[in-house]
């Protein structure tokens, strides 16, 4: 027997079973379909010729089948960890057994993430989390084929904290006068206070007439009363340190005026 495939591509594999020489029997035609196949109905015809028949007898058999729309599937695994202030990138990929065009969206994602669909069955999810993003974030990705079937991929991204240095939020007073109390209310903050950081305020460079009192709440007071002999310029260096040892300094020059401020006395005229 000679079996030829007259159907559409891709080609089929045909098998003849239980047909011994000189006997009639059953011919079973099977087809292995190689994906992708677009959704739809198909008909294939096999032509069967008898090689030893001088008359060249032949027969045909047709088989009809349909291909349903199959939902696309993600082929990539998500990246579920990120680090504060570092770029997060997750390469996304999906496949469709029908060969349909695919579209990616992210209906659920934190504001610091952006999804870019490359239009070829791949996409990129990326972004840089700030300190406020430390913690967990739900993400839902969606891939939709051109016939409307969709698949979702849900996961959680955990953003790890990175310790940040504290900063001064107060502006120093840079002028003092002999005989008058100088007071500078110092304040500092740290993005990691919410994660348990505590701040310590110190003064590494001070004139003798000044003293710093740390209130243990991110504030301190620098105060003192200069005398006339303290007139001139004085270098001040303050330091704020967090629980892990990261610190920031604030440096300024304090000018003591060459003038004595005395209380004014007012007299009534006789």
pLDDT along the chain (270 residues), means of 10: 49 52 57 56 56 53 65 97 98 93 97 98 98 96 95 98 96 96 98 92 98 98 96 98 97 91 51
C-alpha dist (Å) from residue 166 to 84, 92, 104, 170, 245: 16, 38, 41, 13, 10
Residue 228: CB partners within 8 Å, gap ≥ 6?
178, 179, 258, 260
What confidence score (pLDDT) does residue 97 get? 87
Q: Is the dihedral of CA 176, 181, 185, 186 positive or negative?
A: positive
Residue 99: CB partners within 8 Å, gap ≥ 6?
35, 36, 37, 38
Contact present, 67 and 39 (Cβ < 8 Å):
yes
Report domain extents, the chain: 73-160, 167-256
Supply the pTM of this predicted model. Answer: 0.65
Q: Is the dihedral of CA 37, 124, 77, 134 positive or negative?
A: negative
Architecture of domain 73-160: Sandwich (2.60)
What confidence score (pLDDT) does residue 99 get? 87
What confidence score (pLDDT) does residue 61 get? 56
**167-256: CATH class:** mainly beta
Contact present, 80 and 158 (Cβ < 8 Å):
yes
What confidence score (pLDDT) does residue 49 get? 53
Contact present, 3 and 33 (Cβ < 8 Å):
no
What confidence score (pLDDT) does residue 194 get? 86
Do 73-160 and 167-256 have matching folds? yes
| pLDDT tens column, 2-18 | 445 555 454 544 455 55
48, with CB counted inside 10 A (0-12, 13-18, 19+), is middle
CA 212 to chain centre: 43
């Amino acid at each position: 027997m000679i079996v030829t495939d007259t159907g559409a591509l891709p080609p089929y594999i045909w098998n003849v079973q239980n047909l011994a020489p000189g006997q009639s029997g059953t011919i079973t035609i099977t087809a292995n379909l190689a994906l992708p196949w677009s959704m739809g109905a198909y008909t294939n015809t096999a032509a069967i010729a008898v090689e030893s028949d001088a008359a060249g007898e032949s027969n045909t058999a047709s088989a009809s089948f349909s291909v349903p729309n199959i939902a696309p599937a993600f082929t990539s695994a998500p990246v579920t960890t990120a680090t504060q202030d570092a770029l997060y990138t997750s390469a996304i990929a999906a496949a469709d057994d029908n060969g349909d065009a695919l579209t990616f969206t992210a209906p659920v994602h934190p504001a610091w993430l952006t999804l870019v669909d490359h239009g070829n069955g791949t996409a990129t999810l990326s972004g840089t989390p700030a300190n406020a993003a430390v913690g967990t974030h739900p993400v839902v990705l969606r891939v939709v084929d051109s016939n409307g079937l969709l698949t979702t991929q849900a996961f959680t991204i955990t953003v790890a904290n990175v310790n940040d240095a504290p900063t001064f939020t107060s502006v120093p007073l840079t002028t003092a006068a002999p005989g008058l109390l100088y007071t500078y209310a110092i304040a500092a903050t740290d993005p990691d206070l919410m994660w348990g950081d505590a701040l310590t305020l110190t003064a590494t460079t001070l004139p003798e007439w000044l003293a710093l009192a740390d209130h243990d709440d991110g504030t301190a007071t620098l105060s003192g009363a200069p005398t006339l002999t303290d007139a001139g310029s004085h270098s001040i260096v303050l330091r704020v340190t967090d629980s892990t040892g990261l610190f920031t300094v604030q440096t300024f020059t304090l000018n003591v005026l060459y003038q004595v401020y005395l209380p004014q006395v007012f007299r009534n005229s006789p």
